[in-house]
C-alpha cells in the first residue's frame, strides 16, 4: 500500500491554524479589500504639502501607517491561505489581488519619502522636536538616512510600479518548487511506499539504512536536474533584479543595498565569512569522525545527516513537543512559557504536511493578529522538535513586540529575528542534554544533533552567504550566470567548506538551485550571526543571571524601535566585533571533542 500525503480537507481542524482573528470569512476580507481600494486614493491630499508644517507631515505619516496596517492584515490572511494549499487558485487569487493593491498603494505613496527628504534641515529639526512628531523621530531619522538613495518623485513612482514585476523570479520558483515538482515515492524500512517530498527529504537522509538515504538523495536531485535550466534562469534573473535596484538607487553594490537599511556595516558580513573560514578545521575534524564512526570508505553528503547513534529511535507527538518546549524554555519564566504553549496548542500553528502545502516552516502574522506558524511536523524527526521551538521563538518575539511597541515600530528586522529563534534552540539542546545526562547513548545522540545544528546554521549558512556574494559580484562585473557558472561556483565552495572529507557527487552542486532564501538577497548570513549571538545570550541566561534574563526579555519587546545592532548590544552581545562568532566556533569545537571522547 502506498502511503501518500493527505489532502487539506483530510487534516483535522484542531491541527490547523485558526485565522478567524484576521477575518471570519472571505466576504469580510472582500469588504475590507473594497474599502481599502478606495481609501488609498486619499494619498493625494498630502501631495506637495509635507514641508508646510509638522501637523501635515504627522497626518501624512499616520495615514500611510493606517494603510500599511490594513494591507498587512489583508496580506497575512491571503498568504497564509495560499501557503496552506499552493494548488488552490482561489487563495492564490486573493494573494495576487492584495499584492496588486499593495503595489498600487506603494505607487500612490511614492512621493512621501522624497518629500520628507526635501524638507530643509532646519525645518525638519524643528518638526522632529515638536509634540506631533516626537513619536516618529526614529522613523524619520531612518528616512533621512536614505537621502543619497532616493530619487525624484516621478522616478520613485515608476520604481514602485515595478515591484510586481520584480517578484516574478521568486513567484515562478515558488510555484515550480512547491506545486509542480514531483519527487516520486520511496520505500521505508518496513517496505511501505511513501511519497518523497520537501517535508520528509531530511527524514530519509537521517535513515540508518544507507541505501535508503542514497536513493532519496539521487531521486530528489534528479528532479532538480530535470529543471536545472529553468531554475538557474529564475535565480539569475533574481540577482539581476537586485543589481538593477542597487544601481538605480546609487548603492555601490547589491550587498551594500541590502545591509544599508539595517545600518549593518560590511565588516559584519566579512568578519563572519573570514572567521568561519579560519575555523573550518574544526568542521573537518567532525566530518572525519563521522566517516570513521559510520565505518565508511567514502563520506557522501547523504551520510552527513544520519545520527551517529543509530540505536536510538526518536518519536515525539506534536503535543509532547510543545510540553518539551515549555520545559526547555523555563529559564525565561512562566509568563513566556504559558503564553507560548497556549498559542501553540490553540490556533497559532498549522501542524502537518498536506498536499500542495508550502514546504519548510515559518512564523508569520501581523500587528492585528496572533503570530501564526506554518510547520510540516514529522513525529519521527528530531529536527521537527527543533523547528517547532525555533518558530516559537519568532512568534514570541512578535507577540512581545506587538504588545510593547506602536505599529510604527512593531516590526523587528530579520537580523534580530534569527537571534530569538536560535536562542530557543540553544535552550532546547541544554535541556535535552541535562535530562539525559545519565544516558550515554542519548547524550551522544543529542551532542551529535547539537553539533549538526551549529554546522547547518553557522557553517552551512555562511557558505550560502559567500555564494550569494559571489553570484552578485559576477552580475555586477557583467559575467554570465548560467547553469554551468552557477553550479561551478557552488562546487568551489563545497570543496572549500568540506575539504577532502567529502566525496562530492555532481548532484550536490544542484543544491544551490533549491534554496528559497536566495530569492531574498543577503538574507541567509543572518542565520549565522543569529546563532552566534544566541549562543552568547543563552549562556548568560542559563548561568542564572536574572539581569541577563531581564535584558533578553526586554530585547524581545523592542521590535524595530532601534537599529538591530544597537538592540543586541542592549541585550548583551556586540556583533560589530568578530568575538561572538569566534566564541560560537570555539563552542562547536568543544562539542566535537566531547562527542569524540564519549565515543
Q: Give domain status of residue 388, yes or no.
A: no
Count the neighbouring beta carbons within 10 Å of the beta carbon of residue 291: 19
Asked if residue 82 belongs to a domain, the reply is: yes
Same domain, 309 and 448: yes
- Are residues 23 and 95 both part of a single domain? yes
In a domain, residue 364? The reply is no
- pLDDT at position 359 is 82
Q: At what angle do helices 89-108 and 54-84 cross, to 10 degrees?
A: 160
The CA distance from 471 to 97, in Å, is 33
Q: What is the CATH number of the domain that holds 426?
A: 1.10.1370.20
- Whether 226 is covered by a domain: the verdict is no
Tell me, yes or no, whether 299 and 447 share the same domain: yes
Domain identity same for 66 and 108:
yes
In a domain, 404, yes or no: no
Separation CA 313–CA 581 (nearest Å): 33
**pLDDT computed for residue 2 by the predictor:** 57
Compute CA distances 436 → 317, 432, 447, whole Å: 19, 6, 11
How far is the CA of 291 from the CAs of 119, 284, 301, 381, 459, in angstroms?
64, 10, 11, 22, 18
- Do 177 and 121 reside in the same domain of the chain? no
Do 521 and 485 lie in one domain? The reply is yes
Handedness of CA 496, 500, 501, 507 (dihedral sign): positive
Residues of the chain with pLDDT under 50: none
Residues 459 and 570 reside in one and the same domain:
yes
The residue among 448, 598, 595, 468 whose CA lies nearest residue 528 is: 468
Domain count of the fold of the chain: 2
Q: What gap in Å lies between CA 538 and CA 552, rounded to an integer?
A: 9
Residue 314 pLDDT:
80
> Is 392 within the bounds of a domain?
no
Any idea what the CATH number is for the domain that residue 37 is in?
A: 1.20.140.70
Residues identified as active-site: 391
Please name the residue that has the C-alpha cell 516559537.
Answer: 392
Q: Is residue 359 part of a domain?
A: no
Q: In sequence order, which residues have a C-beta less than 8 Å from that of residue 38 and are 6 or more positions away? A: none
Query: In this structure, what DSSP letter does residue 559 have?
Result: T
Asked whether residue 259 falls in the same domain as residue 137, the answer is no
Quick one: which H or E segment has residue 297? none
Do 150 and 177 lie in one domain? The reply is: no
Residues 478 and 499 in one domain: yes
Q: How far is CA 425 from the centre of its chain?
A: 15
**Does the residue 333 lie in any domain?**
no
Confidence (pLDDT) at 214: 96
| 253 and 161 belong to one structural domain | no
Which domain-ending residue is among 116, 131, 166? Answer: 166
Domain boundary among 166, 200, 218: 166
Report pLDDT digits (tens) over 517-575. 999 999 999 999 999 999 999 999 999 999 999 999 999 999 999 999 999 999 999 99
User: How much is the pLDDT for 164?
Assistant: 85
Structural domain containing residue 64: 7-166
> Does residue 204 contact residue 112 with C-beta atoms inside 8 Å?
no
Q: Please tell me the predicted confidence (pLDDT) of residue 572.
A: 94
CA dist 362 and 61 (Å) reads: 30
Is the domain of 496 the same as that of 438?
yes
DSSP assignments along 160-195, one per residue:
HHTHHHHTHHHHHHHHIIIII----EEE-TTS-EEE
Amino acid at each position: 500500500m502506498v502511503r501518500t500525503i493527505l489532502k487539506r480537507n483530510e487534516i483535522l481542524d484542531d491541527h490547523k491554524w485558526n485565522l478567524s482573528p484576521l477575518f471570519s470569512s472571505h466576504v469580510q476580507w472582500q469588504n475590507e479589500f473594497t474599502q481599502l481600494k478606495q481609501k488609498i486614493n486619499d494619498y493625494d491630499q498630502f501631495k506637495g504639502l509635507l514641508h508646510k508644517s509638522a501637523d501635515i507631515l504627522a497626518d501624512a505619516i499616520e495615514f500611510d501607517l493606517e494603510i500599511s496596517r490594513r494591507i498587512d492584515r489583508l496580506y497575512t490572511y491571503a498568504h497564509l491561505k495560499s501557503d496552506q494549499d499552493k494548488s488552490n487558485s482561489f487563495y492564490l487569487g486573493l494573494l495576487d489581488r492584495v499584492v496588486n493593491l499593495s503595489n498600487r498603494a506603494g505607487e500612490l505613496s511614492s512621493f512621501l519619502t522624497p518629500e520628507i527628504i526635501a524638507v530643509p534641515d532646519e525645518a525638519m529639526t524643528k518638526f522632529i522636536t515638536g509634540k506631533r512628531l516626537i513619536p516618529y523621530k526614529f522613523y524619520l531619522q531612518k528616512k533621512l538616512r536614505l537621502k543619497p538613495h532616493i530619487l525624484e518623485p516621478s522616478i520613485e513612482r515608476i520604481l514602485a510600479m515595478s515591484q510586481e514585476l520584480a517578484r516574478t523570479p521568486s513567484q515562478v520558483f515558488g510555484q515550480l518548487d512547491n506545486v509542480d515538482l514531483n519527487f516520486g515515492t520511496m520505500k521505508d524500512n518496513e517496505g511501505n511506499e511513501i511519497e518523497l517530498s520537501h517535508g520528509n527529504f531530511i527524514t530519509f537522509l537521517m535513515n540508518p539504512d544507507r541505501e535508503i538515504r542514497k536513493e532519496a538523495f539521487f531521486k530528489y536531485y534528479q528532479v532538480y536536474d530535470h529543471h536545472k535550466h529553468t531554475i538557474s534562469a529564475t535565480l539569475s534573473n533574481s540577482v539581476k533584479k537586485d543589481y538593477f535596484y542597487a544601481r538605480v538607487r546609487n548603492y555601490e553594490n547589491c550587498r551594500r543595498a541590502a545591509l544599508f537599511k539595517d545600518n549593518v556595516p560590511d565588516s559584519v558580513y566579512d568578519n563572519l565569512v573570514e572567521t568561519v573560514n579560519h575555523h573550518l578545521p574544526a568542521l573537518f575534524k567532525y566530518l572525519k569522525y563521522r566517516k570513521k564512526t559510520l565505518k565508511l570508505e567514502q563520506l557522501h553528503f547523504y551520510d552527513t545527516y544520519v545520527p551517529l547513534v543509530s540505536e536510538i529511535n526518536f518519536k515525539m507527538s506534536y503535543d509532547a513537543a510543545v510540553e518539551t518546549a515549555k520545559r526547555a524554555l523555563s529559564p525565561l519564566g512562566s509568563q513566556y512559557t504559558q503564553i507560548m504553549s497556549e498559542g501553540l496548542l490553540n490556533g497559532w500553528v498549522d501542524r502537518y504536511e498536506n498536499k500542495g502545502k508550502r514546504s519548510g516552516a515559518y512564523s508569520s502574522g501581523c500587528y492585528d493578529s496572533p503570530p501564526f506558524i506554518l510547520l510540516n511536523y514529522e513525529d519521527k524527526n528530531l529536527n521537527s522538535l527543533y523547528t517547532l521551538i525555533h518558530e516559537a521563538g519568532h512568534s514570541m518575539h512578535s507577540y512581545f513586540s506587538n504588545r510593547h511597541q506602536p505599529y510604527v515600530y512593531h516590526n523587528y528586522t530579520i537580523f534580530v529575528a534569527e537571534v530569538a529563534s536560535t536562542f530557543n534552540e540553544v535552550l532546547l539542546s541544554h535541556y535535552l542534554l541535562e535530562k539525559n545526562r545519565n544516558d550515554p547513548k542519548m547524550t551522544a545522540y543529542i551532542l551529535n544533533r547539537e553539533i549538526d545544528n551549529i554546522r547547518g546554521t553557522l557553517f552551512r549558512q555562511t557558505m550560502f552567504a559567500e555564494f550569494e556574494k559571489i553570484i552578485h559580484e559576477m552580475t555586477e562585473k557583467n559575467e554570465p550566470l548560467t547553469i554551468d557558472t552557477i553550479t561551478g561556483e557552488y562546487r568551489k565552495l563545497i570543496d572549500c567548506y568540506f575539504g577532502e572529507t567529502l566525496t562530492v557527487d555532481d548532484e550536490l552542486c544542484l543544491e544551490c538551485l533549491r534554496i528559497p532564501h536566495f530569492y531574498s538577497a543577503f538574507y541567509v548570513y543572518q542565520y549565522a550571526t543569529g546563532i552566534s549571538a544566541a549562543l552568547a545570550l543563552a549562556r548568560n541566561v542559563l548561568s542564572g543571571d536574572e539581569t541577563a534574563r531581564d535584558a533578553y526579555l526586554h530585547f524581545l519587546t523592542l521590535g524595530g524601535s532601534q537599529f538591530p545592532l544597537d538592540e543586541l548590544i542592549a541585550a548583551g552581545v556586540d556583533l560589530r566585533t568578530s568575538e561572538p562568532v569566534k566564541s560560537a566556533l570555539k563552542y562547536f569545537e568543544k562539542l566535537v571533542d566531547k562527542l569524540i571522547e564519549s565515543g
